[in-house]
Amino acid sequence: MNNSLMTFVRNGHFQNCLKCSIAAVQPGNRSFHTSNPERQIARKYVVKNYFQGPPKRSDFDIVEHELPALKDGEILVKAELISVDPYQRAYNLRSKLPYTQYGYQLGVVQESKDPNHPVGSRVISLKGWRDYSVINTSSHPFSDFYKLPDLQGLPNEYAMSAVGMIGATAYFGLLDICKPKSGETVAVTGAAGAVGTIVGQIAKVKGCKVIGFAGSDDKVEFLEKELGFDKAFNYKTANIGSALKSAAPEGIDCYFDNVGGEISSTIIGRMRNFGRVAICGSISSYNEDPRKMPKATILQPSLVFRQLKVEGFLVQRWAGPENRWPEAFADITKWIKNGQMKTHHHVTEGFENIFDAFTGMLEGKNTGKAIVKV
Ligand code: NDP
């Protein structure tokens, strides 16, 4: 009997082996049958529902399955760090169900049929919420699969944050789109999160005045005292208009928008002539029903009379043919090493706890980059 396609589902939802119809295991029981004890058994989170409001545990199954033997050009990777990110919420409606939860992970090569990726080397991939995976090393664009960059002695967590997709987002979104000049004023929302903390600090490196908005008094203190933001506000309690008037009476030159919604309309309404806005994300709307999106103050008068430039972006733009991500990695590593930048990691332990880390991040429990160590 060939059991190689055997798939069991955990979390109280079970299905039979796809090929041999052997009954499913009991809840939480890790036992499984396999025709080949050499084959690696892997676990992955499968999303089976379109989320309604905040994602629920019952929207996911943890599925155990047997990995195939390696072919030439493939590697077997064991995940060590797994990233939880807002886009995993935002892209849910765009993905065909069911799907394995994609996202960045850092893993170590356990078996290799590619001499460029020997056993023991480390890779970054979009394999997401899986503990083991087989990767064909030649079938991915740079941003989906690459060797662990030279972190110059920094811990591997940095490859999931500042020296990874997150750092590239902050770097190119701010420097290529907002183009801040020394002496200008930069505002950033989602300021205490993964992207926001790096945006604010790059702006400081470039000689700007930086104003951040985050969701708690502790985060405000962290931004001002730890990261050197000139001023930070708790957007849940502050009057945003008055806060901006007091902190930036001259107006805002650059706005890095991570959250969207009314706070963004208020900030854009206080921009100076020829200000630049980089639209990175709109997390304030990710849990909303897309048919009933919240309304925010109309922007056109500010855009026209202040002659503002507004541009949305996806960070993969800079991983295209020119592949500029390494440029961001090199500058950011330099700034961290010479003390101009700090990166905070919010680490959760355990493959079983990825869901909690994910929803915790969406609720704002993280300061800096939310990562799961497995
Ligand atoms: P964060 O580390 O910032 O985590 C998300 C944060 O969002 C939470 O910590 C929380 O902080 C904040 N938040 C949650 N709900 C709301 C709300 N209703 N209003 C305002 N803030 C809220 O995540 P990332 O740094 O990874 O991502 C930040 C943004 O960047 C997201 O919009 C994401 O989609 C986007 N992004 C875009 C990319 C691109 O290529 N365009 C690439 C990567 C990220 P708080 O306590 O402050 O509320």
pLDDT in tens, 287-305: 999 899 999 999 999 999 9
Q: Which of 143, 258, 262 to mutate to test the pocket of ligand 1 (most atoms within 8 A of CB)?
A: 258
**140-172 pLDDT per residue, tens:** 888 899 999 999 999 999 999 999 999 999 999
Of all atoms in ligand 1, which is nearest to the CA of residue 236? Answer: 48
CA of 324 from ligand 1 middle (Å) equals 23
Helices (H) and strands (E) in the chain, counts: 9, 17
Mean pLDDT of the chain: 91
pLDDT digits (tens, 9 = 90+) for 253-296: 999 999 999 999 999 999 999 999 999 999 999 999 989 999 99
Cα of 276 to ligand 1 centre, how many Å? 20
pLDDT in tens, 196-213: 999 999 999 999 999 999
- Give the C-alpha separation, 143 to 219, whole Å: 30
86 alpha carbon – ligand 1 mean position (Å)? 6
CA of 307 to the centre of ligand 1 (A): 27
- The yes-or-no verdict on residue 7 having pLDDT over 60 is no
Establish whether residue 203 lines the binding site of ligand 1, counting it when its CB lies within 6 angstroms of any ligand atom: no
Tokens linked to 143:
């941003």
- Predicted local confidence at residue 36, as pLDDT: 67
**Encoded tokens for 33:** 């049958």
Per-residue tokens: 368: 């800096």
pTM, entire model: 0.93
Ligand 1 binding pocket includes 164 (Cβ within 6 Å): no
Q: Which of 219, 258, 229 is nearest to 365 (CA)?
A: 219
> What is the whole-number distance in angstroms between the Cα of residue 112 and the centre of ligand 1?
36
Q: How far is it, in rounded angstroms, from Cα 243 to Cα 214?
A: 13
